[in-house]
A and B are shown apart, each in its own frame.
Chain A
Amino acid sequence: MSETAIVFDIQRASIHDGPGIRTTVFLKGCLLDCLWCHNPEAVSAKPQLFFHFDKCTQCGDCAKVCEEDVHHFIDGKHTIDFEKCSLCGKCVEACNYNALKIIGKELSIDEVMREVMADFDFYSNSGGGITLSGGEPLLQFSFSMELLQRCKEMGVSTCVETSGYVSEVHLWEILPVVDILLFDYKISRSDEHRNYTGVPNDSILRNLDIAYDTGIPIILRCPVVPGISDTEHHFKSIRALDEKYPNLKGIEILPYHNIGNNKRTSIGTHETLADLNSTSPEVAAQWLEQLKELGCVKARIG
């Protein structure tokens, strides 16, 4: 039987996850829990209920069909007991306003391939292809491996975006079917890394080493969060990596955006960095300038 995976989105015509026009396949599940994550619904490996509170009219239809007593209306507010949800999908069907959905769907390789191949002409004209992202795609290793192999067979170029917090062996095994690796670099100091993401970064950096040594083109992706990673020290470490790995294909800084916050409430987790606004383009440009001054000529805004 062919592998399946829990996919939470397939975005076609994506132009921000590697070169050219791409189809980005987002897999669920990640071992990190970054404070600034803008896809908090990707963290859990399982499907989950998602509540679009802006769309809810409080009609109460969901509560009528739910057998697990998940939906409550208290003081004119629709509250949800996410823990109790058994993902039966009845309320999603009942809601006429699309306020509820279940994030994450089990898809087979064939199903994903069908969607990926539809844009083949766009890939070949633009140097694009598939990007496997997440979550952490290497966690659903056999699926990812097989999917990428299939892509290579079909002549679709492949990118994988990884947090780097994965098994060395898996990383090493998958690289031959990856054309470009998008490797996250979030925080330079390991203790701080653990504070903000839940895990230290030693093994991540070791994996970066391993990957780099294979000669695979790597684009370093650096989320920059004001007050956390917009520091001189962190920028200098980015520059240090740049020097250590002269053949890096690129360095992208990803300015913080607060969109993840709303989604956190939508899946029943707590807001983080609630007071932090999204980065303005001007500030992002300043960061870029700083990096360039440090000698990071490859840096650009992703």
Chain B
Amino acid sequence: MQKVDDFSMELNFTEAYRKNKDKHIAIREARCHQAQFPAVLTEILENDRLAGRTVWGWVGFSPHNAPGGAAYGYFCHDQKIIEAIERGNIPMDQRDGVHEMLHFWKKETSKAKVEAAFTQKMLPILFRDEIVSLPYNFKPMIAQPIYRMAGVFVDYEKLLRLGIPGLIFEINDYMHKSEASGGDYQLYEGMLIALNVFIDSCSHYERQAIQKANAATDPKRKQELRKLAEVLGKNAVAKPGSFYEALQLSWLYTLICGSLELGRVDIYLGDFYCHDIDNGIITEEEALSLMHSYWRLINELFRDVDGRVIIGGRGRRNEKNADRFAFLVLETMRTYGRAILPQTTLRFYDGMNPELMEKSISLIGDGHTFPLLYNDDVLVPGVAQAHDVPTEVAEQYMPLGCGEIVIDHMGFGTPSGSLNVLKALDVTLRDGIDHISGKRLGLPTGDLKDFKTFDEFFSAFKKQLAFFIEILADHEDLEYVESGKQAPYLYLSMLYDDCLARGKAIFSGGIRYLGGSLESFGSVNAADSLTAIKKMVFDKKLISADRLVAALDNNFNGYAKEHKLLKECPKYGNDDHYADSIMVELHDFMCNNIRDQRERTNLDWYLNVLINNKQNTILGRWVGASADGRKAGREMANANTPAGGNDKKGVTALINSLVKPSHKIHAGTVQNMRFGRDFFTSDRENFEVILDTYFKKGGAQAMITVINRGDLEKALVEPEKHKDLFVRIGGFSSRYIDLPRDVQLEILSRVTY
């Protein structure tokens, strides 16, 4: 929806903050929520069966769910406000206030607070306000801070068990005890105000639903809106007594608390759903209709990298009911049609109802990108070790957004920094200097030609990486400390263990586990580049160090021979020991070094993640040509996936490579695999064996997609990047790019989506 340039909410919000500037941070935050909600909640739209839409202001408070580029704590989206000023559509009586507001937040936003607290070591390395939001980075960077409190998974079970009144009751109780014992009772007071804001928001929507029901002409819609009003009315005064009430409450809470994740819906909604179905309170059809509305809201309000709906897996107290709900989720996906959200995630383990996996595979075969598959048999022990938590806790692991693993309502771990591994290699070749800007970005460790052995060179690279990792870890630590100083994140603190009992806010010692993660990008290209450097410069000596750097500086123009030799070097993803062992060494070094940062910081864990998102493209833009044959500025490989479809030996070799790097030392990787449609139909049995073998061999995760028209079309344009596409032709399979043009086109014409 188009935002009108009315800044009354933002001005009220700013005023609330100012007025309470010297009050307890919980009171201040609560008053700000009051200014924000229901003001940013927007209308129930035609066909909505659930209430809860937002258009966030350009100033506000939210851990994560706020306008992109500003989404962290107290935020102020300078750019958007300036754009509005430029448009000249701000009401006269607000203009001075808007200018003043812009000035006021400059030092007060949560991001500004963290930046103001940068240490001497961070200052020259981490960019501050000078960059505009992604994807418009205009500077080559190695380490970049990320501002957001991502991966909110509140205790939905508790929320639904107690309802808002029950929560108020419990918090009230804590408040009195705290007050009596001279504790920080105002934290609870703030929570109670925030819960009242929540109740107001329910009532706001209840009134709206009644008005809309009265105005509706279609009797069916009238009926639906009346029902919705009733549900909202109930949410305000009682704990949920039906599936509908539970779904509505959880949705509105998700939105208001600023989360972008939905969590283990099968656990927290399963019992309600089964009860209502079994007792004839709701029909399957009605439940599905509500789920469609839920799906639509998620699709319209959340960003494509967020929105995790998690089903299946270990640690579900109500497994039978949860399974039934999980089937409803899959049925919702099927009937809703292919969509980019939610990122439905199937956790599975040996012994779980196999039908869940079967149905999931069929959906993928029909062209859905979801569910993403997570292997609990590998991940539960993996998380227990990586995050250093007991198994029962590890069972509640949650992949957030792009795949960073945190713990349901017990452990937070926002990724607060990203590391461009390939860029770090870029500067290691050139004594720490970035050849694009001519500026120093890394440590002076010498030029490539100065190294006598490959090992010496690799060590220098590790030294560079370690330097940036330390800074990013310190930054994560600092971000929490400053967040905690500025706000208690009330809606989170009341539903995260053990904040209420400890009487402390989530980032101020309340939460049980406070961790973090570092998003690393370009590791696969870096590993392949190292392999090529080792082979060409040090082992075979076919390309001299100077010549290699010259070839890279010139983006291989005039160096076709070198380019060919480099491209032909072994690549990760082909079960080739030479290449894979370098990938493993780099992976181990990165993961272990990052994991060791918890010794230096206050973090309970700090872990590497290798994930999918657009950063591989955005960050790749400022990386010069690399020794793996990648051209300057081009995207880097996603997550742990072989670069540019370099896995040309087929899926079994790919899998053998994928399972080599350990899964016990990081907080999430994403493994992308593409299969032809036949694998889901005529060759399904073999496909299931391949997948099963992958998971038995230690595969942790799989993101499987069916090869579609788009893939084949791209392969026609850039065959070099699609060496991994195998297609079936008559009685055999062949690599798509190796086929003659007419055959390629013929195959393309047969692909339906």
Complex interface residues of chain A between 245 and 302 (CB less than 8 A to chain B):
252, 254-259, 262, 278-279, 281, 301-302
Shortest beta-carbon distance from B738 to chain A in Å: 8
Instruction: From known contacts A96-B560, A96-B563, infer whether A12 and B653 are also in contact, taking CB-CB under 8 Å.
Output: yes
Binds B, one of A15-23, A41-49, A104-112: A15-23
A96 to B563, CA, bound (A): 8
Q: Which of B646-678 contact A (CB under 8 A)?
A: 649-653, 656
| A229, CB-defined interface residue at 8 Å | no
Contacts of B729 in A (CB 8 A): 257, 259, 278
B732 interface residue (CB < 8 Å to A)? yes
**Interface assignment of B237: CB less than 8 Å from any CB of chain A:** no
With both beta carbons as reference points, the residue of chain A lying nearest to B564 in the complex is identified as: A96
Most chain B beta carbons < 10 A, residue from A119, A221, A255: A119
B746 at the interface (CB under 8 A from A): yes
Please determine whether B689 and A126 come into contact, CB atoms closer than 8 angstroms: yes
Whether B656 pairs with A20 at a CB distance below 8 angstroms is: no
B693 within 8 A of A: yes
Chain A 181-198 residues near chain B, CB threshold 8 A: none
Q: Find chain A residues with CB under 8 A from B732 CB.
A: 14, 16-17, 38
Please measure, in the bound complex, the distance between the C-alpha atom of A160 and the C-alpha atom of B649, giving whole angstroms. Answer: 22
Within 8 A of A (CB), among B711-753: 726, 728-734, 739-743, 746, 750
Please state if B689 and A278 are interface contacts (CB–CB under 8 Å). no
| Cβ 8 A contact of A259, one of B653, B656, B743 | B743
Residues of A within 8 A of B685 (CB): 126
B560 → A minimal CB distance (Å): 4
Complex contact B693–A121 (CB within 8 A)? yes
**Residues of chain A from 1 to 59 with CB closer than 8 A to chain B in the complex:** 11-17, 20-21, 38, 54
Interface size on A, residues (CB 8 A): 33
In the bound complex, what is the Cα–Cα distance between A122 and B683 (angstroms)? 15
Interface centre among B652, B697, B728, B729, by most chain A C-beta atoms within 10 angstroms, is: B652
Measured CB to CB, the closest approach of chain A to B736, in angstroms, equals 12
Select from chain A the residue with minimum beta-carbon distance to B574. A12
Closest B residue, CB atoms, query A126: B689
Asked whether A54 and B731 contact (CB < 8 A) given A13-B650, A21-B690, A122-B693, the answer is: no
Contact partners of B561 in chain A: CB under 8 A? 96
The verdict on A125 contacting chain B, using a C-beta distance below 8 Å, is yes
In the complex, B686 has a CB within 8 A of chain A: yes
Contact call A125/B696, Cβ cutoff below 8 A: yes
Q: Knowing A13-B690, A118-B656, A125-B696 are in contact, say whether A262-B730 is a contact too (CB < 8 A).
A: no
A12-B650, A118-B656 as given contacts; A54 in contact with B689, CB under 8 Å: no
* Most A Cβ at <10 Å: residue of B563, B696, B739, B742: B742
Residue contact B697 to A121, C-beta cutoff 8 Å: yes
- When A96-B563, A259-B743, A262-B740 are in contact, do A119 and B656 touch as well, CB less than 8 Å? yes
Decide if B575 is an interface residue (CB 8 Å cutoff). yes
B731 partner, pick from A12, A20, A21, A302, beta carbons under 8 A: A302
Chain B positions within 8 Å of A221 at CB level: 731
Contact present for B696 and A257 (CB under 8 Å):
no
Could you tell me the distance between the alpha carbons of A11 and B650 in the complex, rounded to whole angstroms? 8
A118 to B577 alpha-carbon distance, docked (Å) = 11
Question: Which of B575, B649, B730 is A279 in contact with, Cβ under 8 Å?
Answer: B730
Q: Is the CB of A15 within 8 A of B575?
A: no
Q: Total A-B residue pairs with C-beta atoms closer than 8 Å? A: 90
**B733–A16 contact, CB under 8 A?**
yes
Judge whether B652 and A12 touch: CB under 8 Å.
Answer: yes
Q: How far, in angstroms, from A4 to B564 measured CA to CA in the complex?
A: 29
What residues of A have a CB within 8 angstroms of the CB of B693 in the complex? Answer: 21, 121-122, 125-126
Number of interface residues of B (CB under 8 A): 35
Query: By the criterion CB–CB under 8 Å, are B656 and A54 in contact?
Result: no
Residues of chain B contacted by A254 (CB below 8 angstroms): 730-731
Contact of B692 with A by CB under 8 A? yes
Q: What A residues does B697 contact at CB under 8 A?
A: 121
A54 touches B741 (CB 8 A): yes
Whether B564 contacts A119 by the Cβ 8 Å rule is no
C-alpha gap A230/B746 in the complex (Å): 22
Which chain B residue has the least Cβ–Cβ distance from A257?
B730
Known: A96-B564, A126-B686, A278-B746. A256 touches B651 (CB 8 A): no
Residue of A nearest to B734 (CB): A259
Q: How far is the CA of A279 from the CA of B730 in the complex (A)?
A: 8
Q: Are A20 and B740 in contact (CB under 8 A)?
A: no
Q: Which single residue of chain A is at the shortest CB-CB distance from B576?
A: A118
Question: Which residues on B sit within 8 Å (CB–CB) of A126?
Answer: 685-686, 689-690, 693
B residues in contact with A259, CB < 8 Å? 729-730, 734, 739-740, 743
Question: What mask results when residues 633 to 656 of chain B are scored 1 for a CB within 8 Å of chain A, else 0?
Answer: 000000000000000011111001
> With A96-B560, A121-B697 as given contacts, are A16 and B731 in contact (CB-CB < 8 Å)?
yes
Assembly CA distance A157 to B143 (angstroms): 51
CB distance from A56 to the nearest CB of B (A): 13
B521 to chain A, nearest CB (A): 29
Q: A125-B696, A278-B746 are in contact. Are A14 and B731 (CB under 8 A)?
A: no
In the complex, A169 Cα to B746 Cα: how many Å?
44
Which residue of chain B has its CB nearest to the CB of A118? Answer: B575
Residues of B within 8 A of A11 (CB): 650, 733
Task: Name B728's closest neighbour in chain A (CB-CB).
Answer: A16
Contacts of B563 in A (CB 8 A): 96
* Distance of A241 from chain B, by nearest CB (Å): 19
Complex: A257 Cα to B733 Cα, angstroms: 12
B649 touches A12 (CB 8 A): yes
Q: Which B residues are in CB contact (< 8 Å) with A279?
A: 730
Q: Could you say which of B563, B656, B726 has the most chain A C-beta atoms within 10 Å of its C-beta?
A: B656
Q: State the CA gap A96–B729 with chains docked (Å).
A: 29
* B747 CB, min distance to chain A CBs, angstroms: 10
- Chain A residues with CB below 8 A from B726, complex form: 13
CA distance A96 to B720 in the complex (A): 13
Cα A14 to Cα B690 with chains together (Å): 11
Chain A residues positioned under 8 Å from B560 (CB to CB): 96
CB distance B652 to A15 under 8 Å?
Answer: no
Q: Which residue of A lies closest to B561 (CB)?
A: A96
Contact, CB under 8 Å: A125 / B650: no
- The distance from the CB of A264 to the nearest CB of chain B, in whole angstroms, is 11
**Which one of A11, A15, A21 has the highest number of Cβ atoms from chain B below 10 Å of its Cβ?**
A15
Instruction: Using known A-B contacts A126-B686, A254-B730, A257-B730, determine if residue A13 contacts B739 with beta carbons closer than 8 Å.
Output: no
Q: State whether B730 touches A54 (Cβ < 8 A).
A: no
Q: Specify which of A13, A118, A125 is in contact with B651 (CB 8 Å cutoff).
A: A13
A87 to B740, CA, bound (A): 24
A20 close to B743 (CB less than 8 A)? no
A residues 139-166 touching B (CB-CB < 8 Å): none
Contacts of B750 in A (CB 8 A): 281
Q: How far is the CA of A66 from the CA of B321 in the complex (A)?
A: 72
A-B contacts besides A15-B686, A16-B733, 15 pairs, CB < 8 Å: A11-B650, A12-B653, A13-B726, A15-B683, A16-B728, A21-B690, A96-B561, A119-B653, A126-B686, A126-B693, A257-B730, A257-B731, A259-B730, A259-B743, A279-B730
* Interface of A toward B, CB cutoff 8 Å: 11-17, 20-21, 38, 54, 96, 98, 118-119, 121-122, 125-126, 221, 252, 254-259, 262, 278-279, 281, 301-302
Please give me the 6 A-B residue pairs with the lowest Cβ-Cβ distance, nearest first.
A13-B650, A126-B689, A262-B740, A257-B730, A254-B731, A96-B560
Listed by A's residue number, 12 A-B pairs whose Cβ atoms lie within 8 Å are A11-B733, A21-B686, A119-B653, A121-B696, A125-B689, A252-B731, A255-B731, A257-B731, A259-B734, A278-B746, A279-B730, A301-B731
Where the two chains meet, the residues of B that have a C-beta atom closer than 8 Å to any C-beta of A are 560-561, 563-564, 575, 649-653, 656, 683, 685-686, 689-690, 692-693, 696-697, 726, 728-734, 739-743, 746, 750
